[in-house]
Chain A
Amino acid sequence: MFSSTHKKRTKLFTNKKLSPIALILIFIVNLVIYNINQENEAIKKIRSFTDLTPYSINYIIINTSSAISSFTDYFINIDKLNKKITQLETELLLLRKDLSSNNYIQHENKELLTHLSIKKNYFKNAIVARLLPINYAGKAHHLEIDKGLTQGVKPGLITIDQGGITGQIINSYDNSSEIQTIFSKKFYITGYIQNDEKSQQVLIQGNQNHLEIKHFNTKESIAIGDIVYTSGDNNLIPKGIKIGFVSDILSSEIENFSKIIIQPLSKPYSHNFLMVLLP
């Protein structure tokens, strides 16, 4: 059977929509674009923005991975730094605590040295006692010390600091004692006022934040600033320990008598150590 194949001839350039004139125009425009100076700033900017050749895939991948690792590092470091900050803050707190403790110890040592020096120079038979931060009795103007009957501390003895008398032992136990400070209303001590003329025996009583002589004969000479000393009892309280100075002279309800206010020279509440004067 005879068969024939029909060969379809086809035009090569098939896009008939575009006229040759338009094509030539496009070519000319393109040629102009190609030949103009492309070194001006605007085109350079476009080129630097769009040119990916220096940032080829390898470069982009490396940069991306580097960016990701930097990003991860940033967060890891932030976490580490936060932990470090917390750790350092804790260390700082501990160091501050240590420093405070050291300061306290330093202060305590200084005070102890002062007391020991006083003891060495003036009161050979005194003992230095540490104040305990407790008050079992719960009373106002009462202190506890860490020396008791074992160390020879017994009721009636007085305690002093570098200023003068601070209080009196009222109760003693084996290893601790209770002190009634000079500000207690139950604190009584006999003393004398030393002035230029003569010494005058008086009874002094504590009264909250000062000491006072309730009835002082107005005929006796007294002046503000006169120092008041202990008169001693020849047994437990030595003579000549400073009590305070006359700060005010008030009138009394009883005629011919006045009320004397004495400001103590000691500071019972600002010490860590006190000296107990043994007989």
Chain B
Amino acid sequence: MNIVNLKLTFKLFLLTLFLLLLISSFAMHLYINSFILSLSIFLYFSLKIASIYKILIIGLIVDAVLGYQFGLTNIAFLLLIFVDILISKFLSINENELFLYHLSLLLVGSIIYSWLILGQDFFTLHLIINFFTSAIYFILLNRYATR
């Protein structure tokens, strides 16, 4: 186990949790999942420092802290991994295009979240807001959260 990776994972998780609680204090519960989505994709796909088990544990903690049904965050993330596996069977991309691919994963993740949590009402609006919020956080993570 790489202790540096673990520390970074832990720090980023705490930062995200802090942001989630900060946003929840303004009663914006609809969009706080986008942060955990960005963090999961960043840790698992982009930096590749967290195993799936760590992500699942993080998901459970997030569910507990935000008062969601246990398993909700993990379902979204596991669906995302299935999507990733499915796509990887059919196409391959070069490293320069990875960032765009991760953004597209964020979009898929936002769709799954919006569908799981928000339902049909104002789906498009919530999807757009969720996607842009998660994209901004993902870009910031890519830029500043390095080893």
| Bind each other | yes
Nearest neighbor of A23 in chain B, beta-carbon distance: B81
Q: Which residues in B have their C-beta under 8 angstroms from that of A12?
A: 84, 87-88, 92-93, 101
Q: Chain B interface mostly helix, strand, loop or mixed?
A: helix
Selected interface stretch from B8-16, B66-74, B106-114: B66-74
Q: Which residues in A have their C-beta under 8 angstroms from that of B69?
A: 34, 38
Contact B48 A58 (CB under 8 A): no
Nearest neighbor of B48 in chain A, beta-carbon distance: A14
Q: Which residues in B have their C-beta under 8 angstroms from that of A14?
A: 48
How far apart sit A10 and B25, CA to CA, in the bound complex (Å)?
42
Nearest neighbor of B22 in chain A, beta-carbon distance: A57
Contact B92 A11 (CB under 8 A): yes
Q: Which of B29, B64, B81, B85 contacts A46 (CB 8 A)?
A: B64
Nearest neighbor of B56 in chain A, beta-carbon distance: A26
Q: Which residues in A have their C-beta under 8 angstroms from that of B98?
A: 10
B121 CB–A CB distance under 8 Å:
no
A125 CB–B CB distance under 8 Å:
no
Interface residues of A (CB under 8 A from B): 7-15, 17-18, 20, 23, 26-27, 30-31, 33-35, 38, 43, 46-47, 50-54, 56-60
Q: Which residues in A have their C-beta under 8 angstroms from that of B22?
A: 56-57
Given A26-B52, A56-B24: A51 and B67 within 8 A (CB)?
yes
Q: How far is the CB of B101 from chain A (nearest CB, A)?
A: 7
Counted as pairs of residues, one from A and one from B, with CB atoms less than 8 Å apart, the total is 95
Contact A56 B48 (CB under 8 A): no
9 tightest Cβ-Cβ pairs between the two chains A and B: A34-B71, A58-B25, A56-B25, A50-B64, A33-B71, A12-B88, A51-B67, A56-B24, A9-B92
Contact A30 B71 (CB under 8 A): yes
Given A10-B94, A15-B52, A53-B29: A30 and B64 within 8 A (CB)?
no
Q: How far is the CB of A176 from chain B (nearest CB, A)?
A: 87
Contact A52 B65 (CB under 8 A): yes
Q: Which of B25, B26, B75, B94 contacts A9 (CB 8 A)?
A: B94
Q: Which residues in B have their C-beta under 8 angstroms from that of A7?
A: 94
Interface residues of B (CB under 8 A from A): 18, 21-22, 24-26, 29, 44, 48, 51-52, 56, 61, 64-67, 69-72, 74-75, 78, 81-82, 84-85, 87-88, 92-95, 98, 101
Known: A13-B81, A30-B56. 19 other contacts (CB 8 A): A13-B88, A14-B48, A15-B48, A15-B52, A20-B85, A23-B78, A26-B52, A30-B75, A34-B69, A34-B72, A50-B65, A51-B65, A51-B66, A52-B66, A53-B65, A54-B67, A56-B22, A57-B24, A58-B25
Q: Which residues in B have their C-beta under 8 angstroms from that of A11?
A: 88, 92
Q: Which of B21, B25, B70 contacts A43 (CB 8 A)?
A: B70
Q: How far is the CB of A18 from chain B (nearest CB, A)?
A: 6
How far apart sit A14 and B51, CA to CA, in the bound complex (Å)?
11
How far apart sit A7 and B92, CA to CA, in the bound complex (Å)?
11
25 residue pairs from A and B, CB less than 8 Å apart: A8-B94, A8-B95, A9-B92, A12-B88, A12-B92, A13-B88, A14-B48, A15-B52, A17-B51, A23-B52, A23-B81, A26-B78, A31-B71, A31-B75, A33-B70, A33-B71, A34-B70, A34-B74, A35-B71, A38-B69, A50-B64, A56-B21, A56-B25, A57-B21, A57-B25
How far apart sit A219 and B82, CA to CA, in the bound complex (Å)?
141
Q: Which residues in A have their C-beta under 8 angstroms from that of B85?
A: 13, 20, 23
